[in-house]
């Protein structure tokens, strides 16, 4: 009986952990020729920093992963994340499929579709800049 209780608790905890994580896909398109270059993404899950890289092929790249909930992320063209206004951009990563269009030489012109959080974030950011 004690063993059944332990197994039930273990199964319950495992199901909570697996249900809490959601997949994301970030499909990217570069507006200029950036073939064979790399692009980098960093974000946190459960307080642990995750950094991924993707090679651009036919001006396209893809990042896939799991997150627990909406999280701040940075996309950058510098592998060491020496961030400037042109080579990096902060945005919000959320579960589901997001599409991103960017100019490899100027990430400030990034356009993100499929993300309600980013639409609200950029709307708020633009409103505060115009005041």
Q: What is the pLDDT of residues 29-50, one digit of tens each?
A: 998 789 999 999 999 999 999 9
Question: Phi and psi at residue 14, in whole multiples of 5°?
Answer: -60, -40
Residue 68: how many other CB atoms lie within 10 Å? 13
Using only the alpha carbons of the chain, give its radius of gyration: 18
Q: Is the pLDDT of residue 59 over 80?
A: yes
β-strand pairing of 88-93 with 71-76: antiparallel
β-strand pairing of 96-103 with 88-93: unpaired
Question: Which segments within 1-130 are labelled E, that is strand?
Answer: 22-30, 38-45, 48-55, 60-67, 71-76, 88-93, 96-103, 106-113
Of the chain, the end-to-end C-alpha distance in Å amounts to 66
Question: Phi and psi at residue 9, in whole multiples of 5°?
Answer: -65, -45
For the chain, the domains span 20-130
pTM: 0.78
Q: What is the pLDDT of residues 90-123, one digit of tens each?
A: 999 999 999 999 999 999 889 999 988 888 888 8
* Rounded Cα gap, residues 116 and 51, in angstroms: 23
Looking at CATH, the fold of the domain delimited by 20-130 is given as Immunoglobulin-like (2.60.40)
């Amino acid at each position: 009986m004690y063993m059944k209780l332990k197994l039930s608790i273990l199964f319950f905890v495992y199901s909570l952990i697996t249900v809490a994580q959601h997949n994301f896909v970030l499909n990217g398109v570069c507006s200029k020729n950036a073939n064979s270059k790399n692009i980098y993404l960093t974000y946190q899950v459960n307080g642990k920093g995750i950094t991924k890289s993707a090679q651009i092929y036919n001006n396209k790249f893809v990042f896939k992963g799991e997150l627990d909930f909406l999280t701040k992320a940075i996309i950058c063209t510098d592998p060491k994340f020496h961030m400037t206004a042109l080579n990096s951009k902060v945005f919000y990563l959320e579960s589901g499929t997001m599409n991103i269009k960017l100019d490899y030489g100027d990430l400030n012109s990034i356009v993100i579709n499929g993300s309600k959080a980013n639409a609200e974030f950029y709307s708020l950011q633009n409103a505060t800049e115009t005041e």
